[in-house]
Structure formats: C-alpha cells, structure tokens
C-alpha cells in the first residue's frame, strides 16, 4: 500500500498568538475611549478596560509565580476599584489607589513583554506585535500616572481650550500621554508644575529611546531573517 504523505506540522498563525490578541484589545480600548462621548455609554470603555486587565493576567500566566501573583492582585483590585468608582462615585483615595495599581499592573506587563522580546532568538510577526504592545502599554501606564498626579497636585496641567469638567477624564490623559510619547507636542495641554514637567520629558525620552533602539533592531533582524529564508 502506498503511504499517504504526511503534512508537515504548522506553527500557530500570527493571528492566533497572545500578542495579537493583546494588541487587538489595546487598540479596541483606545478606539472606544476616543469615540464614546456620551457619559451614559462610558461603561463600554470600562468593559474593554476590564478585558485588558483580564487578558493581561492570562498573558502573564506562564511567567514566574511572583510576577503572576503580584499582577493578578493588582489587576483584580484595579477592576474592582474602577467599577466601584464608576458606579458609586467613591472617594478620591479609591481613585488614587486605582491609578497606582493600574500603573503597577501595566509596568509588570511591560516588563514581561520586554523580557520576552529581548530573549527571543527568532524574530517573528508575533515578536513585532509584542513590541507594538509594549509601546502602547507605556503610553497607557503613563496616562494613569498623569491622572494620579492630577488628583494629588493642584492643577499640574494647563488646558488651552475650555473643555469644562470633562477635561479631567482618563481619556484626556491618554491623549496627552501619547502626544508626549510620540513627541508631537500640540500644546493644547501643557505641564506647568515641576513634577508634571519631569514626568512629561521622561516619557518623551522613553518613547524615543524605545523606537530608535529596540524597534529598529527588531525590524532589522526580522528583515535579515526573512532574507535568509528566501535564500
């Protein structure tokens, strides 16, 4: 009998990797936060934010127990504080704790993703997805730090336009964070205290160093590896 040729085992497609799922959720959160203006639909942003935390914990499930436990505790408490503040309008202490824990969680997630990217030997599309996730997580972590600073300080930022009360929502600090991270500097929101200025230039330097050092190297290695495969 003629044996049937066995098909070679295929690696998981890039769209089934954890990095792709994480990137999709992050992009979905930013789109939702930017597009929803009705305060009564704000819970949709909260749902996507909760999905980021839950999937972030799942993403860390293969890591060391210490990192997993710390991130899990920070993530679960962040979710509970987020919804408690959204539903019951809790005290500023709860809001401050929420921003601190969210920052800790995203920093842990950045640390794990960055470690995976640095240690990887074969640069794949999934690796590039992880690198993009790190960049977005940096901006998200910094937005929580800005929101925390706004709660703790007396008007650390100056807004040129008259946005009214809504100007101090988290979405506005996300906007400012990514404008700073990419060094666009539109000037509609500017830091006016020493601490807010230090935070801002630190984020700008971090963003530029990340793009010029890590991303450039990854893209270069990926192009080289693809060229070798073709040969």
HEC string of 141-186 equals HHHHHHHHHHHHCCCCEEECCCCHHHHHCHHHHHHHHHHHHCCCCC
Q: May I ask the CATH class of domain 15-230?
A: mainly alpha
Three-class SS state of 86: helix
- Identify the DSSP state of 60: G
Residues 69-76: contacts with CB under 8 Å, at least 24 apart: 70/104, 70/108, 71/105, 71/108, 71/109, 74/101, 74/102, 74/104, 74/105, 74/108, 75/101, 75/105
Q: Which residue has the higher pLDDT, 15 or 81?
A: 81
Which range among 30-39, 165-174, 220-229 shows the weakest confidence by mean pLDDT? 165-174
pLDDT at 7 over 70: no
Q: Taking residues 169-198, report their average pLDDT.
A: 89
Q: Model confidence over 94-110: pLDDT tens digits?
A: 788 888 888 988 998 99
Torsion, CA 146, CA 92, CA 169, CA 130, rounded to 10: 50
Place of tokens 């009998």: 1
pLDDT at 61 over 90: no
Q: Taking residues 66-77, report their average pLDDT.
A: 80
pTM confidence score: 0.83
pLDDT at 153 over 80: yes
- The ranges assigned to domains in the chain are 15-230
Short-list 219, 1, 25, CA closest to 127 = 219
Q: pLDDT class for 85, splitting at 50, 70, 90?
A: low
For residues 223 and 132, the answer to whether their CB atoms sit within 8 Å is no
How far apart CA 142 and CA 128 sit, in angstroms, is 22
Q: pLDDT class for 60, splitting at 50, 70, 90?
A: confident
pLDDT at 9 over 60: no
Distances (CA, A) of 157 to 33, 164, 193: 21, 14, 7
Distances (CA, A) of 139 to 44, 82, 188: 21, 19, 18
- Left, alpha or beta for 112 (phi > 0: left; psi -120 to 50: alpha)? alpha
Q: Model confidence over 113-122: pLDDT tens digits?
A: 888 888 887 7
Average pLDDT, the chain: 80
């Amino acid at each position: 009998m003629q044996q049937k040729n066995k098909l070679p085992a295929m690696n998981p497609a890039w769209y089934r990797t954890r990095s792709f799922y994480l990137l999709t959720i992050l992009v979905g959160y930013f789109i939702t936060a930017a597009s929803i203006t009705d305060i009564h639909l704000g819970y949709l942003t909260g749902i996507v934010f909760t999905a980021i935390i839950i999937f972030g914990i799942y993403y860390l499930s293969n890591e060391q127990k210490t990192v997993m436990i710390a991130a899990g505790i920070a993530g679960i408490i962040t979710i509970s504080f987020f919804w408690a503040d959204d539903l019951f309008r809790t005290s500023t202490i709860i809001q401050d704790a929420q921003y601190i824990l969210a920052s800790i969680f995203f920093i842990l997630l950045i640390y794990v993703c960055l470690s995976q990217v640095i240690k990887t030997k074969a640069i794949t599309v999934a690796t590039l997805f992880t690198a993009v996730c790190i960049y977005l997580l940096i901006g998200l972590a910094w937005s929580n730090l800005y929101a925390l600073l706004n709660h703790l300080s007396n008007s650390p930022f100056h807004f040129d336009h008259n946005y009214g009360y809504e100007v101090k929502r988290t979405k506005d600090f996300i906007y400012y964070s990514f404008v700073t991270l990419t060094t666009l500097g539109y000037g509609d929101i500017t830091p006016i205290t020493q601490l807010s200025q230090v935070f801002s230039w630190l984020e700008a330097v971090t963003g530029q160093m990340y793009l010029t050092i890590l991303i450039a190297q990854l893209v270069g290695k990926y192009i080289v590896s693809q060229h070798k495969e073709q040969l």
